[in-house]
Amino acid sequence: MNLNDIIAQLPYTKPFLFVDELLHADENGVIGTYTFDEKLDFYQGHFKNNPVTPGVILTETMAQIGMVCLGIFLLHNELKKDTVIAFTSADVQFLKPVYPNEKVTVSSQKTFFRFGKLKCEVVMKNEAGQEVCKGTLSGMITARL
């Protein structure tokens, strides 16, 4: 499966698409990047005169790249129009701030995949190679009810 095809199948669009590029995908994990544009709306109020990327957005970025892209790769032959992707849990440690215009790299390792349920260990690093956050993310891919 082509890496650009995975991005095209993501159920998100701008301004809520947090995947710029996938660098690698296989049955065990994915690696991708995203640059946080300084014009994103949430920077207007988080925080006054010192914008920082909210933790919930970092978690979402980790989930989109590290879990959803991997799920699409793993199930690419089974995905249908009525497919629903659900984020079920996150346990994330935030280690360093991410500022506007920073490019991050997200890598994930599959720890569990069965019956449409996926669990991954995901790490986000800044351009200096420093971990900015890491954690365990879980989700599921299923048919719409």
Q: Are 107 and 69 in contact (CB under 8 A)?
A: no
Q: Is 76 a catalytic residue?
A: no
Give the separation between CA 145 and CA 131, rounded to whole angstroms. 38
Active-site option among 33, 46, 100, 103: 46
- The Cα-based distances of 127 to 5, 22, 33, 68, 107 in angstroms read 25, 16, 10, 23, 13
Active site residues: 46
